[in-house]
Amino acid sequence: MSAEYDDLPDAVKKEVQAFADVNVAWLSKVLAAARVVAPKKSEEQARAIVAAVAGAQLVARSRSDISLFDALIKSYQAPGLLPA
């Protein structure tokens, strides 16, 4: 829904933001607990991961090709941009 964010009603915008915030907070805790990153960097890394996944979803959707999503995620994991 973020791609159409500007066209959403304010109530829906609020829910989209809350959904993203909840997921970033959860992922931040998981990253810190798993010692993937330092606790001070976990929120930053969580936001980057959420952005990478969302971008991969948009690209794959625009091409109607789910295998493209998988390939993009693997390409992020290879250099360590996403945890494997």
The answer on pLDDT for 2 being more than 70 is no
pLDDT at 59: 95
The answer on pLDDT for 24 being more than 90 is yes
**Tens digits of residue pLDDT in 29-81:** 999 999 999 999 999 999 999 999 999 999 999 999 999 999 999 999 998 88
The answer on pLDDT for 3 being more than 80 is no
Choose among 83, 84, 60, 63: nearest CA to 72.
Answer: 60
HEC sequence for the chain: CHHHHHHCCHHHHHHHHHHHHHHHHHHHHHHHHCCCCCHHHHHHHHHHHHHHHHHHHHHHHHHCCHHHHHHHHHHHHCCCCCCC
The answer on pLDDT for 13 being more than 90 is yes
